Amino acid sequence: MNHPDLLPKLLSMPDVQSAPDHRELAIDQVGIRGLRYPLPIADRDGVQSTIADCSVFVQLPADRKGTHMSRLVELLEERAAPGAEPIGVATLRTLVDALVSRLDAPGGRLELAFPFFVRKTAPVSGIPSLLDYQAKLVGELDEGRYTQTIAVAVPVTSLCPSSKEISEYGAHNQRSVITITARTREPMFIADLLRVAEEEASSELFGILKRADEKFVTERAYDNPRFVEDLVRGVAARLDADPRLDAFVVEAENFESIHNHSAFARIARRM
Amino acid sequence: MNHPDLLPKLLSMPDVQSAPDHRELAIDQVGIRGLRYPLPIADRDGVQSTIADCSVFVQLPADRKGTHMSRLVELLEERAAPGAEPIGVATLRTLVDALVSRLDAPGGRLELAFPFFVRKTAPVSGIPSLLDYQAKLVGELDEGRYTQTIAVAVPVTSLCPSSKEISEYGAHNQRSVITITARTREPMFIADLLRVAEEEASSELFGILKRADEKFVTERAYDNPRFVEDLVRGVAARLDADPRLDAFVVEAENFESIHNHSAFARIARRM
Amino acid sequence: MNHPDLLPKLLSMPDVQSAPDHRELAIDQVGIRGLRYPLPIADRDGVQSTIADCSVFVQLPADRKGTHMSRLVELLEERAAPGAEPIGVATLRTLVDALVSRLDAPGGRLELAFPFFVRKTAPVSGIPSLLDYQAKLVGELDEGRYTQTIAVAVPVTSLCPSSKEISEYGAHNQRSVITITARTREPMFIADLLRVAEEEASSELFGILKRADEKFVTERAYDNPRFVEDLVRGVAARLDADPRLDAFVVEAENFESIHNHSAFARIARRM
Amino acid sequence: MNHPDLLPKLLSMPDVQSAPDHRELAIDQVGIRGLRYPLPIADRDGVQSTIADCSVFVQLPADRKGTHMSRLVELLEERAAPGAEPIGVATLRTLVDALVSRLDAPGGRLELAFPFFVRKTAPVSGIPSLLDYQAKLVGELDEGRYTQTIAVAVPVTSLCPSSKEISEYGAHNQRSVITITARTREPMFIADLLRVAEEEASSELFGILKRADEKFVTERAYDNPRFVEDLVRGVAARLDADPRLDAFVVEAENFESIHNHSAFARIARRM
């Protein structure tokens, strides 16, 4: 299906994107979004293959009409090739540097959102299973300054302290998602960051639980009631004390078992 | 922005859709999908304004190249006009009849999916609030035979019987969604159908619950533990005994508070 | 199902949320999210019934354990009652003021996201039909200062200037969504804001187009090619010149017809 | 965090799921849904790591109260282990057999939905890039009879024949998704099935296109206009003639560039 004979003729085609633009408006971000690519991700426990939803943007000066979108995909195509170096919190910057230099851009931004897995062992039976988290790495170069954020959405159990207190027995509980977005001063593993959320919840989750484990997590949650307010305060207090972080946002959403809406809380620090 | 002067010339434009097609393949459904339209819906408690996600399809004979999509939208535009007659389980057929007759089609199908609200009163305080359900009405004419289905997704609380039994205190519970899809022999209100699901759950949900109500629903759920299997069996047993129904599917999905996946069950009868 | 006899006993139940919290961490936002409520919205062309996805948050001081979630729903329940005053850009603040005062909170934030409809007339045939947009109103009180933003996502056609220039015939085009988020100094109708996006696109969209209209919009788009960069620059230039706006973000996403990913651009000013 | 000392005591806990149920209603499907697991998938071009959204169900006899959900996850955990045998159209049945036998169930059903990638070469420049498709494998054992379906959603370009015919220049085109669901008599690669859809469209898509390629696909689409009706007829005619298939459904959805809704068509044969 290739037509290399057409190539010389086509290479002389007008390059509309490189023409000047007369509105004199610089663009903060221009590029591609919603590109799914399989990528190897390196983290605390080794390398895992995942499938990332990728956004790749550059800044565009006021006098340039357009950017070259195909080069943005090429950057990821190289990293998806067999044997390519995995991407991780310690190496993301090399990708952003390559982006800005190849596109000859004043700045650039890369966002990779992907399912991230941790193999956990059930609390009593010790049976292993994977748990999935939604993670996001963002690297940005703006006016020569590089910033990097790690975000991870952590599913947990929350059990309502008020319901426990006022009821003769039982207490409503539900699945919650705690999302931590952290601007890091030094590399910090995704697998470590998500543990903070799990430890502050009424209980953490597991893929496989045998009856003995189910008893354990049920009682653990009842012993550790947490409002949505408690979830964000507990996580924020620990992140505040962590010298590896510059700034953070912590959000918690409880998919209430007694309502058809969520309870939500958010604490932001320097972000 | 109208250009009526162009109209005579344009009306003589070729009508490609009406040309014959030579592959000799009839099409089961052709039309529009994903059209949002505000529509009045009539049900047990009166008329409510909702916003429907509409699909409107006709059957296309083997010898016709295409259908006239704009006429499908016109059908809904008429029903969205101020003062238009509301749509409900008892009147859906008139829309399907109009569809088939205007498009001169051998058959047709209309699907309206929309949020549906019921004003409920909290179990102890009696405070009113709305609860939202996702409903769907489908009417279809095929070989002269009309069938109609009503579907409603009902959010409820489920509390795990096993967790209650094996734990010294507490029991994991969560939000579940019970979906009933019913092919009806005679009109049946959405508001009545969804009650079957609410009554078979560990507890129904409310928009507003004061502390006294929260105690009530917490204890009610603990007193009525239900596996996902129990939810579908309880609903199926009642629908099976209802002479207004020809066929049904009942599905239940528990957004497990101790896992990051759902428990799911399904019973279908004659569907 | 009401049990008023239980009420006196229950009213003496402990109010855990009002207890003090000892972590000394104020919470930026706490409340409810994902609550669907039918609400009347007032805008340029009158009042329309819509269904909003509502978030209602308050700020929580460091010394208070929790907020009273049910009061947040009550605020919307009142506005959904028959005959209630519609909500619009000019009256949103009254809701935010009520929120902060009833919850005795230092600040609060209300977000209403909803489908918004405009009845348009086809460019040649003049046939009327509704077009749906996704709109969002946000009002926030923080340290006594009120800010309000209007956001609207506008579906349009974009036609690629490069594809037109290099191809002997045709040009790839596609549906795009231009999203304008504006912090306003004075009230500005949603229906007016979205027109800016429609006028800067290759073509605007319509629900119903007859053949004459289809010819018109096809040729209009070919006559007005726009890169994703042009879409955001065109809109930004006009918003920049509008004295009613304090700050804005304009984003455009092209669901490329020749790729399985989007082209995207973004310009932010003072936001 | 393991507590093996508790194990003996816990193993004597009541097994509520194994108790009898008295409603005498068999359940068609009960199990787990929405479980994300990383799995290796084997297809025409080798093995690729993907992340599947998994549903695993068994049939439950009328006299059994519940199923053992944890065993369903264990089945996938084994296949996600390093070095595990990949899953593919030729080996899916072994998983369904294991499911039914381990759960001692009269029947079972496995659904794996996942992103699937094909490395394509741009039509003129020959530059390689990956394209993502959404694929789904379903295997079911019912009354001792095994059926298997392969589904794949294929993004393509469609260009409107009517718009081309009536317009002096240009023609509206857009991204479409053609979905093929095939019940196969003998194994058939996903990579082969999706080509049928790509060959029947106005043009196929690519991740990376240089200017010469963009000219090529723009002109190719203009040379091959297709209504949504043509897309399903073209694909159906070819699937009808393929002896490897027992039954199929083909659906096409055009995300119209001139409307904010989709055009849709569907042909089903023996399904």
pLDDT tens-digit readout, D39-59: 999 999 999 999 999 999 999
Q: Judge whether B117 and B48 are in contact, CB under 8 Å.
A: yes
B114-132: average pLDDT: 98
Burial-class residue D18 by CB neighbours within 10 Å (0-12, 13-18, 19+).
exposed
Residue-level pLDDT at C205: 98
Q: Chain B within 8 Å of C117 (Cβ-Cβ)?
A: yes
Identify all chain A residues contacting D125, using CB atoms and an 8 Å cutoff: 2, 7
Chain B residues with beta carbon closer than 8 angstroms to that of D57: 264, 266
B-chain residues near C2 (CB < 8 A)? 121, 123-124, 126
| Per-residue model confidence as pLDDT tens for chain C (271 residues) | 344 455 555 456 778 777 777 778 999 999 999 999 999 999 999 999 999 999 999 999 999 999 999 999 999 999 998 889 999 999 999 999 999 999 999 999 999 999 999 999 999 999 999 999 999 999 999 999 999 999 999 999 999 999 999 999 999 999 999 999 999 999 899 999 999 999 999 999 999 999 999 999 999 999 999 999 999 999 999 999 999 999 999 999 999 999 999 999 999 999 9
- pLDDT > 90: what percent of chain A? 89
B36/C contact by beta carbon, under 8 A: yes
Q: What is the pLDDT of residues B156-208, one digit of tens each?
A: 999 999 999 999 999 999 999 999 999 999 989 999 999 999 999 999 999 99
A185 interfacial to chain C (CB closer than 8 Å): no
Q: Which residues of C touch D130 (CB under 8 A)?
A: none
Q: Which residues pair with A146 in a beta bridge?
A: A141
Instruction: Read off φ and ψ for residue D104, nearest 5 degrees.
Output: 50, 50
% residues pLDDT > 70 (chain A): 96
| pLDDT digit string, tens, across residues A56-70 | 999 999 999 999 999
Look up residue C241 and give its DSSP letter.
T
C4 vs B126: CB contact, 8 Å cut-off?
A: yes
Candidates C205, C218, C224, partner chain D, best to mutate (most D CBs within 10 A): C218
DSSP classification of residue C167: S
Tell me which chains share at least 3 CB pairs under 8 Å with chain B: A, C, D
Q: Does D167 touch chain C (CB under 8 A)?
A: yes
| Tens-place pLDDT, residues D136-168 | 999 999 999 999 999 999 999 999 999 999 999
| D217 interfacial to chain C (CB closer than 8 Å) | yes
pLDDT at D1: 37
Q: Flag whether D171 is in a domain.
A: yes
Q: How many CB pairs under 8 A join A and C?
A: 147
Longest dimension (CA), chain D: 82
Q: What pLDDT was estimated at residue C12?
A: 66
CA A43, chain centre distance (Å)? 13
Digit-coded pLDDT (tens) for A230-256:
999 999 999 999 999 999 999 999 999
**Neighbouring C-beta atoms of residue C5, cutoff 10 Å:** 8
Q: What is the pLDDT of residues C10-57, one digit of tens each?
A: 456 778 777 777 778 999 999 999 999 999 999 999 999 999 999 999
**Beta carbons of C27 and A268 less than 8 Å apart:** no
Determine whether the interchain pair D168/C219 forms a contact, defined as Cβ–Cβ distance below 8 Å: yes
**Token duo for residue C180:** 């304008």
**pLDDT of A103:** 97
CATH of residue C189's domain is 3.10.270.10
> In whole angstroms, what is the distance from residue D55 CA to residue D72 CA?
9
Residue D122, CB half-sphere, CA atoms under 13 Å: how many?
23
Q: In 3D, which of B185, B188, B120, B119 has the Cα closest to residue B151?
A: B188
- Tally the domains of chain A: 1
Cα D139 to Cα A217: distance, rounded to the nearest angstrom: 33
Are A210 and A127 in contact by the 8 Å Cβ rule? The answer is: yes
- Which residues, 6+ apart, have CB-to-CB distance to A228 below 8 Å? A158, A176, A252, A253, A254, A263, A264, A265, C30
Asked if the C-beta of C9 comes within 8 angstroms of chain A's C-beta atoms, the answer is no
Mean pLDDT by 10 residues, chain D (271 residues): 48 72 88 98 97 98 94 96 93 97 97 98 98 98 97 98 97 98 95 98 98 98 98 97 96 98 97 90
Residue D37 in domain: yes
- Smallest CA–CA distance, residue A31 to chain B, in Å, is 28
ipTM of the assembly? 0.93
CB-based contact, C11 to chain B, within 8 Å: yes
What pLDDT sits at residue A1? 37
Judged by a CB distance cut-off of 8 A, whether residue C171 touches chain A is no
- Distance, first Cα to last Cα, chain D: 50
Compute the nearest-CA separation of D51 from chain A (Å): 7
Task: Please judge whether A205 and B259 are an interchain contact, meaning their C-beta atoms are less than 8 angstroms apart.
Answer: yes
Chain B residues lying within 8 Å of D55, measured CB to CB: 264
Question: Is residue C154 assigned to a domain?
Answer: yes
The string of DSSP codes covering D75-89 is: HHHHHHSTTPPPEET
Residue B240: closest CA among chain D residues belongs to which residue?
D25
The single-letter DSSP state of residue C86 is: P
Global confidence as pTM: 0.95
Residue A7 has pLDDT above 80, yes or no: no
Q: Is C254 within a domain?
A: yes
Residue C224 DSSP code: S
Q: What pLDDT does residue D18 have?
A: 76
Contacts of C60 in chain A (CB under 8 A): 229, 265
Which of the pair, A34 or A14, is modelled with greater confidence? A34
Question: What is the chain C residue with the closest CA to B119?
Answer: C77
Distance CA D178, CA D230 (A): 11
Measured in angstroms, the CA of A60 and the nearest CA of chain C are apart by 9
Q: Which domain holds residue A96?
A: 27-269
**Chain C contacts of D204, Cβ < 8 Å?**
none
